[in-house]
Chain A
Amino acid sequence: MSPLPQLLCSALSMAARTPPARRTLRKVLIANRGEIAVRVLRALRELGLESAVIYSDADRASLAVRLADEAYRIGPPPSTDSYLRGEAIVELALDVGADAIHPGYGFLSENAAFARLCRERGVVFIGPPPAAMAAMGSKIESRRLMIDAGVPVVPGGRDPLADLAAAEAAAAEVGYPLMIKASAGGGGKGMRLVTRPEELAAAFRAARSEAKASFGDGSVYVERYVERPRHVEIQVLGDAHGHVLSLGERECSLQRRHQKVIEEAPSPAVDDDLRQRMGAAAVRAAEAVGYANAGTVEFLLAPDGAFYFLEMNTRLQVEHPVTELVTGIDLVIAQLRVARGETLEEILGERIAGGRVHPRGHAIEARLYAEDPYRNFAPSPGRIEHLRLPEGPGVRNDCGVYEGAEVPIYYDPMLAKLIVWGGDREHAIRRLERALDELRVEGIETTTRLYRQILRDADFRAGRLDIGMLDRKLQDGTWGRPEPAADDLPLIAAVIAHAERQATRTAIPAADDGARARWRTVARREAVGGGPG
């Protein structure tokens, strides 16, 4: 048993020092932009708290600014000059009398130094204790902490292997299939997949020389290779009194280059037994670092049901709404109430009767990006000339834009999230298809066409997902650019537009006035006379 690492000690002592006192929040500063700023300010309003947002010059006319009680300029468009100015943001919070800062996701949300700065200046940071953020922020450190806490990690280790004998010993321990990876690695260089012991010697030599050539450092290590894994994550919620609870899982396997695009809850691969085991592991992970507030423990889930800790996101996730829809828990309101010092029991009430949260129905989220999925996701900035958002039963849109808004070139291209709820997975899928049919965005490219293809896919419909699926199906053309419309519809629309333009151009103003006057007379007469029967 290794001694408790430094970080864990500080996490525990920090948690012990934090008084579980009740705090009154009156005004909260939102240190973010886009849809998440809107999401947070909705929660503030529902709790009766005042909202203030920061904005960069590119976001002066944003939806968040237009909906907030107060808005303050933080700098020019680039994030480093605006949304990442930690010092200035804390100063601003003090100036405008905000008691707390909600960081949203991205930007400063996982910056332990920023959380510490807030605490030093007496502003509540709505998130976990800084020490918990720091502990989970380091891949190597968090892996060590997880092993000590009994949370499963991918077998293997980063310890460099001295020679082939050491590699053979490590391989026997890790099991096959395994990956040999370069210690200094990245970008797939110095990586070898080994499926059988006979291949180990050759792969070990090849990986070493490739690592040496690529990084000037030939040290390599072995790790169990998880074939076609899913990305399944557990939402946890902790209060400031030492209680942590699992709120169930989200399936987030549909990713392109590690960016999630469609998420759902519950996971089609998780039954109640696995849910309990993953939930218990996630709670152990959170408790190991003295976690409080909302957080997410990410796991790789292997086809055989084994799961391995990936990392913990110490903030609200983009995809939090799917959990909200199947649990009935508003996570942002929960975050704010945790920050006020309330207990999980007070916040969740009957929903945690028996200490467990059971998912009800099925929820799916589709992230709407301003990107062209068929041009390698090239960004598509510009003005949203027309926007019709889907509505109706079971549809929620968390949107950060409006018709006429400019999509700035400086930030993440995510515009909105469509989230649907259905009684079961099939209904949720049909509902999302219906919602995507109603959605209309003109003026910029979006990822909606790709999503229609995904939702129709037989593997997706059957719940057969893995983290390589999206890239694979894009590459092999399964989800390629749809064929151009074979029907006459585009021609019909263009010809009518053309005829209408020609008509307005050739109209003579005087005659037109006369015609209009006559037309009005006729119309009035018809109106007075009443319509048919």
Chain B
Amino acid sequence: MKLIARCNGREVAVEVEKRLHGYQLKIGDAAYDVDVAVPRPAEPGGLTIKSLLIDGRHHEAAVRPLAEGRYRVSAGGSTEMVELLDPLAVLAEQAAGGAKAGKRLITAYMPGVVKRVLVAAGDAVRRGQGLAVLEAMKMENEIEAEADGTVAKVLVKDGQAVEGGDPLFEIE
């Protein structure tokens, strides 16, 4: 299976093949043989704990599927969002969007309720500008734009409950 992966602003081509005890992966120029065991299988749609042996080194990762093709991964003491896309879909998006490449998803960093959406589709936003107010444990926190851009899509509305990692906005 071929995929395009996005993580931390990096976009890279990925290939994955099933093997007897795990998977063979190519990520950019790097190749990995990964032996996988799952000491804690997922409830449907829930979190799995994966025991990964990569060249004899053991790593443990907790993976939670979010929206289609999006995963939250905790491993090695940090948590990252990973987006996996069909290469054809990426091509189609680039062909259709032309100059509109560089879409970014803004996600909720904690579970809570969207108190107020502060912007609308088409609005120009500046880095650091508040996009929405998220409330949890009686504390209000602003979700900020990570860079200058234009709001392409507003994916939530006032009063909506969100999980950590849920997409809130698409910014171009």
Binding site for B on A (CB under 8 A): 372, 375, 378-382, 385-386, 409, 440, 442-443, 445, 448-449, 452, 482, 484-485, 487-499, 501-503
The answer to whether residues A440 and B27 also contact, given A452-B77, A498-B69 and a CB cut-off of 8 A, is no
What's the minimum C-beta distance from A440 to chain B, rounded to whole angstroms? 7
Determine if A380 and B110 form an interchain contact, defined as CB atoms under 8 angstroms apart: yes
Select A491's contact among B27, B40, B77, B110, beta carbons within 8 Å: B27
Residues of A within 8 Å of B60, CB to CB, are 440
B106 contacts A by Cβ under 8 Å: no
What's the minimum C-beta distance from A501 to chain B, rounded to whole angstroms? 7
Within 39-56 of B, Cβ neighbours of A (below 8 Å) are at: 40, 46-50, 52, 54
Determine if A442 and B47 form an interchain contact, defined as CB atoms under 8 angstroms apart: yes
B20 contacts A by Cβ under 8 Å: no
Determine if B48 and A497 form an interchain contact, defined as CB atoms under 8 angstroms apart: yes
The answer to whether residues A493 and B52 also contact, given A379-B136, A379-B137, A501-B65 and a CB cut-off of 8 A, is yes
The answer to whether residues A492 and B52 also contact, given A440-B60, A452-B77, A501-B65 and a CB cut-off of 8 A, is yes
Closest to A379 in B: B137
Determine if A381 and B136 form an interchain contact, defined as CB atoms under 8 angstroms apart: yes
Residues of A within 8 Å of B62, CB to CB, are 385-386, 440, 442
Counting from the closest, the 4 A-B pairs by CB-CB distance are A493-B61, A494-B82, A494-B71, A379-B137
Bound-complex Cα distance A488 to B62 (A)? 15
The contact sample of 8 A-B pairs, CB cut-off 8 A, is A378-B110, A378-B136, A442-B47, A449-B78, A491-B5, A494-B84, A496-B22, A499-B16
Determine if A491 and B46 form an interchain contact, defined as CB atoms under 8 angstroms apart: no
Determine if B78 and A482 form an interchain contact, defined as CB atoms under 8 angstroms apart: yes
Select A490's contact among B1, B7, B65, B111, beta carbons within 8 Å: B7
Determine if A449 and B77 form an interchain contact, defined as CB atoms under 8 angstroms apart: yes
The answer to whether residues A488 and B32 also contact, given A378-B141, A449-B78 and a CB cut-off of 8 A, is yes
Bound-complex Cα distance A255 to B171 (A)? 39
Closest to A436 in B: B77
Determine if B80 and A490 form an interchain contact, defined as CB atoms under 8 angstroms apart: yes
Within 76-102 of B, Cβ neighbours of A (below 8 Å) are at: 76-78, 80, 82, 84
B127 contacts A by Cβ under 8 Å: no
Closest to A370 in B: B137
The answer to whether residues A409 and B63 also contact, given A484-B80, A488-B32 and a CB cut-off of 8 A, is no
Bound-complex Cα distance A74 to B49 (A)? 37
Residues of B within 8 Å of A409, CB to CB, are 136-138
Residue among A445, A482, A494, A501 with most chain B CB within 10 A: A494
Bound-complex Cα distance A445 to B77 (A)? 11
Bound-complex Cα distance A332 to B138 (A)? 34
What's the minimum C-beta distance from A428 to chain B, rounded to whole angstroms? 21
Bound-complex Cα distance A353 to B3 (A)? 71
B interface, by DSSP: helix, strand, loop or mixed? strand
Residues of B within 8 Å of A495, CB to CB, are 3, 5, 14, 16, 23, 25, 27, 82, 84
Bound-complex Cα distance A494 to B25 (A)? 12
Determine if A493 and B136 form an interchain contact, defined as CB atoms under 8 angstroms apart: no
Bound-complex Cα distance A409 to B112 (A)? 11
B74 contacts A by Cβ under 8 Å: yes
What's the minimum C-beta distance from A298 to chain B, rounded to whole angstroms? 29
Closest to A503 in B: B18
B34 contacts A by Cβ under 8 Å: yes
Determine if B27 and A492 form an interchain contact, defined as CB atoms under 8 angstroms apart: yes
B67 contacts A by Cβ under 8 Å: no
Closest to A382 in B: B111
What's the minimum C-beta distance from B44 to chain A, rounded to whole angstroms? 10
Residues of B within 8 Å of A502, CB to CB, are 1
Residues of B within 8 Å of A493, CB to CB, are 50, 52, 59, 61, 63, 71, 73, 75, 82
Determine if B47 and A386 form an interchain contact, defined as CB atoms under 8 angstroms apart: yes
Bound-complex Cα distance A493 to B23 (A)? 11
Bound-complex Cα distance A167 to B77 (A)? 54
Determine if B76 and A485 form an interchain contact, defined as CB atoms under 8 angstroms apart: yes
The answer to whether residues A488 and B30 also contact, given A386-B40, A452-B77, A497-B48 and a CB cut-off of 8 A, is yes
Bound-complex Cα distance A496 to B53 (A)? 12
What's the minimum C-beta distance from A355 to chain B, rounded to whole angstroms? 47
Determine if A381 and B137 form an interchain contact, defined as CB atoms under 8 angstroms apart: yes
Closest to B15 in A: A495
The answer to whether residues A372 and B3 also contact, given A488-B30, A491-B14 and a CB cut-off of 8 A, is no
B121 contacts A by Cβ under 8 Å: no
Residues of A within 8 Å of B156, CB to CB, are none
Residues of A within 8 Å of B46, CB to CB, are 385
In addition to A378-B139, A490-B75, A495-B23, 18 A-B residue pairs with Cβ atoms within 8 Å of each other are A378-B136, A386-B49, A442-B74, A484-B8, A488-B27, A490-B80, A491-B27, A491-B82, A493-B59, A493-B63, A493-B73, A494-B63, A495-B3, A495-B16, A496-B23, A498-B3, A499-B1, A501-B65
Residues of A within 8 Å of B74, CB to CB, are 442
B118 contacts A by Cβ under 8 Å: no
The answer to whether residues A445 and B80 also contact, given A485-B75, A495-B16 and a CB cut-off of 8 A, is no
Within 117-172 of B, Cβ neighbours of A (below 8 Å) are at: 136-139, 141, 164
